[in-house]
Amino acid sequence: MRQYIERIFEHRTLSEEEAYNVMTQMMGGAMSDEQVSAVLSILRYRGETVEEMTGFARAMKDQSIKIEHNKTPLIDTCGTGGDNTNTFNISTAVAILLSGAGISVAKHGNRSVSSKTGSADVLEALGVPVQASKEEAEQMLEDLNLCFMFAPVYHSSMKHVAKARKSLGVKTIFNLLGPLTNPAGTKQQLIGVYDQSVAKKMAQTAKNLGVERALFVTGVDGLDELTITGESIITELRNGTISSYTITPESVGLTRGELSHIQVETKEESAKVIYDCLRGLGNESARNIILLNAGAAFYTAGITDTIKEGVHKARTALNRGYGYTQLTRLNEQPRRSAMA
């Protein structure tokens, strides 16, 4: 193990199997907080290779608790975080709307580490329970087409790196690995990425991990989402082929919006924006960015042939109150202790 760490310190890369071994040791608590911090810092500085990301992700998946299900398609709407734009939690709003429209969603997320609010934070503010066990998550997915998998419950070995991540307070390779290690093994994913060059690496890693279809999306304004303010760059993985292209809000039937209209300071503000939008209220930019990303999710799940058709389907679902009805159902679920 020491030789692997020394290689990282010397800015040399690891093979997939070497990376697997490093992550296994890291997750097993065999590395000190100082060593973990140093490794994360160096990887952030020099950038991770696809081989390293694949090995790291494989190790995390092998040690995680798995969700059993028979849902197909099953999609995750997840982001890397770390874009520093302080928008409301768009991916969570999309997950609620999609599941209300009958699409099964296994949402993987955490509390905030490198942004204002994480998925768990905003769900807490919305009064939505986070499942405390795999059995509860499996039942929730079966009953309501949606479960939220709080990462520390399913990746319990993450406790060995939590202190180092918190002390660094910036995005690390774990921002990239989280979306790639969904405990339900989702084969369809909509993943927001803070940088388009990173998105290409994630797409190749996802292919190596057996993901069938995924969109890795980055707004040119810096959002780790499809943005409503201008162009978005999409890296698509489909049937083993990776391609890239751009879209604009206008190209899918939406009006361009303002970044300031979707920014928040607290989890309570984020929750209010989501609540208002699902009720059919809220400002146009906030509603439209939900529709844009939900449209991409419908497309990724194979429900529509284009993102534009997906946006139309998302608008219909929002107008019919499917999202708000789903939020009401989620609020009625018993409170759990997963986030204690």
Report pLDDT digits (tens) over 289-332.
Answer: 999 999 999 999 999 999 999 999 999 999 999 999 999 999 98
Parallel/antiparallel/unpaired status of strands 232-238 and 241-247: antiparallel
Q: How confident is the model at residue 340 (pLDDT cuts 50, 70, 90)?
A: very low
CB 79 within 8 A of CB 91: yes
Spatial distance between the Cα atoms of 74 and 112, rounded to a whole number of angstroms: 25
CA atoms within 13 A on the CB side of 271: 16
Contacts of 4 (CB under 8 A, 6+ apart): 14, 18, 21, 22
The sheet carrying 232-238 orders its strands as 146-150, 104-109, 74-79, 188-192, 213-219, 232-238, 241-247
**Is 118 or 6 the better-scoring residue by pLDDT?**
6
**Model's pTM, two decimal places?**
0.91
Spatial distance between the Cα atoms of 77 and 300, rounded to a whole number of angstroms: 10
Spatial distance between the Cα atoms of 21 and 272, rounded to a whole number of angstroms: 44
* pLDDT at residue 114 tops 80: no
Helix (H, G, I), strand (E, B) or coil at 25: helix
If one counts every other C-beta atom within 10 angstroms of the C-beta of residue 239, the result is 6
Q: Where would I find the H helices in the chain?
A: 2-9, 16-27, 33-46, 50-63, 90-100, 119-126, 134-144, 151-154, 159-168, 173-180, 196-208, 267-278, 284-300, 307-319, 322-331
Spatial distance between the Cα atoms of 129 and 132, rounded to a whole number of angstroms: 9
- The stretch 109-135 carries a mean pLDDT of 77
Residue-wise over 208-225: b if at least 16 C-beta within 10 A, else e? bbebbbbbbbbbeeebbb
* pLDDT at residue 81 tops 80: no
Per-chain mean pLDDT for the chain: 91
